[in-house]
Amino acid sequence: MIVRRLAQRIRQQDWVAIGIELIVVVLGVFIGLQASNWNEERGTSAKAQVFTERLKADLLAEAWGYEMQIGYHSDVLSNAEKAADALDGLTPLPEEALLVAAYRATQYNSNTRRRATYDELTSTGEMGLIRDEALRVLAMDVYTSTMFDIMDDEGINSPYRKAFRTTLPYRIQRALASACGDKTVAVGDYDGIKNSLDYRCSTGLAADVIAENVAALRANRDLVGLLRLRIADVETSLFNLATYYKDIRESLARLAKEAAAR
């Protein structure tokens, strides 16, 4: 229709009308493009907001997991030191307490990562949707760090853990795990972190059974040396979490504090 009118105006040499028609065409194209850009921007902004909230939620879980790792492994370290001092004859412990401490020194807690949003953003090349630069940098620092992977590897492959678990009968280990093992702590429960492993417990084992198994631990000449190595490894991990990666921890803590204040 517009092309037909323009052709007619040109034949009539109605230049004013031609100019008006061209202006109408240009304005129509401009408005159409602008509306398309506005719609696209609204869609991008909505998508960015969804991903930003998802990433924050993931990082809040990471903030709690960070503190859980520190609290839990502090319990492991405390028990490892008590067991080592008792086996070295430095600080006497009742035999049941020694058996429990030696068991708890074998434990490790695998930090379940909440990284689905970050992985989706990076795999699709859409990390730029996170317009908060501080949040974006924090996510990259958290999810590219290998600190928790190293802790998991050291925990599950600890020579002390293997030595302890090959020394005692599986029934004794089951009793220890049932009565004195890890407490289940819900994600986000900061109060539950305290003493998630180092709490009072009773094994329910007879005194002679306890004595027999403590004697087995003492008879394993490699055990104390491996326990010292376990102490050193856990201390290094705790130092890294609390000091070397201090900026990450503080940034996560700020994010958690801001979320709690809402």
Q: What is the pLDDT of residue 262?
A: 81
User: What is the per-residue pLDDT across 173-230, written as a single tens digit (0 to 9) for each?
Assistant: 999 999 999 999 999 999 999 989 999 999 999 999 999 999 999 999 999 999 999 9
Cα–Cα distance for residue pair 96/82, rounded to 1 Å? 12
Q: What is the pLDDT of residue 5?
A: 61
Nearest partner of 221 among 169, 258, 167, judged by Cα:
167
Distances (CA, A) of 148 to 29, 108, 247: 55, 11, 16
Distances (CA, A) of 70 to 17, 107, 235: 78, 13, 10
Nearest partner of 187 among 245, 247, 262, 109, judged by Cα:
109
User: What is the per-residue pLDDT across 36-45, written as a single tens digit (0 to 9) for each?
Assistant: 555 656 667 8
Residue with tokens 């809040």: 60
Q: What is the pLDDT of residue 111?
A: 83
pLDDT greater at residue 43 or residue 248: 248
CB-CB contact of 104 with 164 (8 Å) = no
Q: How far is CA 52 from the centre of its chain?
A: 17
